[in-house]
Structures are given as structure tokens and as C-alpha cells.
Amino acid sequence: MNRFLPNKTASPPENLKVENRMPRLIQTLLTGLRLSGLVFLAACTQSDRPTPPQSSTQIPSGVTAQRNVLLSEGLIRFARVHKRLLPVAKEACQKAHPTQKAVRCAFQFVVALDRGSPPDAKFTRDASGRPVIIFNHAMVKFLKTDDEFAMVMAHEMAHQIARHITRGQKEVLRGAMNSAKTAKAEGRDINQAARSGAQQALASYTKQFELEADRNGTILMMKAGYDPDQAITLLNRLPKSSERTNRHPADPDRIDRVRALSSQIRASRSTGRTVPLLF
């Protein structure tokens, strides 16, 4: 559901151009959502995109219109869920890290124009340490309900609150150093061992981080009034890839864990108790 990004990225520009040929309805939605506090990132504009090769096969206008409708409907859901979920995540972030700078809990959302890519959501940080969560257009069109949007948003927010970037960097460095130390003692190639150790640590800890984000994201979305049982099966619809398989736990296991947790949360509520967030 996300891609672990260990490196910082530059802050997305504040003034962003929407592709000139984008339908007026979508332009209006993008402008309105940006003014409400969301930032949208266009990966490239029509003017700097290479001219595609000529093809005798053309996309029917009806298909293009359907895609535009899916995007505009998705952007509306995106804004609605963002408005409802953001205060819950900010409060959880501030409670988890009461002494940190306010910017570390100032979530910034970006919708990126990423042509031809599969549905994707990922998390990173800008140069100031502000958490940035990026959805591409394919993900906005892929998610069908408010519950599904809430699950993906809450999952990425949970990664940020848990400081998975910082923790991941430390574990990758530790894995590289331990492997290099062992290789040196055994007379093997230190650089190759360090790379291998870093890769193994990354694979191991990103799977652990995914389960943590599933757990805390489920709690966050339920606090905001969304239903994870109506959303978790989106994992079954996501395209399969080697990267997703290598860095994520098996989807059936994740689905079972989320459903068990949602049942636990509902049972706890009936007795006046709460299931705590673990950051």
C-alpha cells in the first residue's frame, strides 16, 4: 500500500500548474482542494512532456470521459476524508511526540500526476521534516469508497507518526555495519556485505512497519468514524508486483489482522475501554 522512502525529498512547490488539457471540472476541483490546504503535484506539464509516438490505436472518447469522472469523484472523496481524518491523526501525533516541533505533525498531502503507474500511496518528508503523503492519480481513481480512502490515508499517517523513516534509516545502517564487520573478520568483500546487509534489514523492517501501520491506521480510521471491514479487501484488488511482495506481509494475513483488531475495538467500546495506539 505504500513504498518505504528512506531519503528526504524536496518540499513540493506551493504554486503548481495543472495540465492545460485537463477538463475544466477537474481543474476546478484541484484548485478548490488546494485552497483548502491540500497541495497537488504535477509530475510534468504538457509543455515538457516528450511527444509520444504516433499510434493507429486511439483511446475512445467514452473511456477518457469515464477516467475523468473517476478522478473527479475520487478527488471529492479525498478532500472529504482528509478533512475528517486529519484532526484525529494530528492529535495522535502530538500525544505520541509532545516535545517535538509542530511541523512534524503538520501532515502535507500531495496528489501526483504519475502517468502509466499502478495505484500507489507513499510517505516521505520535506527538507523541514514535515511529513508528506503522496497519492498518485491511479490511486485516487482506484479507491471506491470513503472507507477505502480513510484506510490508505490513516495507514500512511501511522507510518509518519511512528517515525518509520528515521527508524528505518537506523536499522538499515545497523544492518550494513554488522554485515560489513562480519565480512571483514572473515576476509570477504566489505562493500558487498554492507549492501546485502542493508537490503536484508530494509526488507525485514518494512514488513514490520507495514503491520504497525495497519494496526495504528485501523485505530485512527475507526476514531474518525470509518469502517475498516468495508475497506480492507482493497488489498485483494491492488496489482501484484515483486516490490510489493518483497516489502509487504502477505495480504491474507494483513486482512485477517485488521478484521480481528476491528472486532477487538468494537468489543472494547461496548465495555467502555479503548484499544491504545502504539507508537
pLDDT tens, the chain, 279 aa long = 544 333 333 343 343 333 444 555 555 555 555 444 455 444 333 333 333 334 344 445 555 556 676 788 999 999 999 999 999 999 999 999 999 889 999 999 999 988 788 999 999 999 999 999 999 999 999 999 999 999 999 999 999 999 999 999 998 899 999 999 999 999 999 999 999 998 888 888 888 999 999 999 999 999 999 999 999 999 999 888 767 777 788 899 999 999 999 999 999 999 999 999 998
- 51: Cβ–Cβ under 8 A, 6 or more apart, which residues? none
The partner residues of 113 in beta bridges, in order of sequence, read: 42
The packing angle between helices 251-270 and 190-223, to 10°, is 40
The answer as to whether 203 is a domain residue is yes
Residue 85 included in any domain: no
Q: Which pTM does this prediction carry?
A: 0.77
**Is residue 77 one of the residues assigned to a domain?**
no
Q: How many domains does the chain have?
A: 1
Neighbours of 271 (CB within 10 A): 7
CA distances from 11 to 108, 157, 221, 268 (A): 10, 18, 27, 41
Residue 22 inside a domain? The answer is no
Is 35 domain-assigned? no
Cα gap 101→52, rounded to integer Å: 46
* 232 inside domain: yes
State the residue range of the domain holding 188. 166-270
Could you tell me the end-to-end alpha-carbon distance of the chain, in angstroms, rounded to an integer?
A: 20
In a domain, 205, yes or no: yes
Nearest CA to 121 out of 137, 131, 136, 99 is that of 136
| φ, ψ for residue 144, nearest 5 deg | -105, -25
Q: Is residue 25 part of a domain?
A: no
Q: How many helices (H) and strands (E) does the chain have?
A: 9, 4
DSSP bridge partners of 135: 111, 121
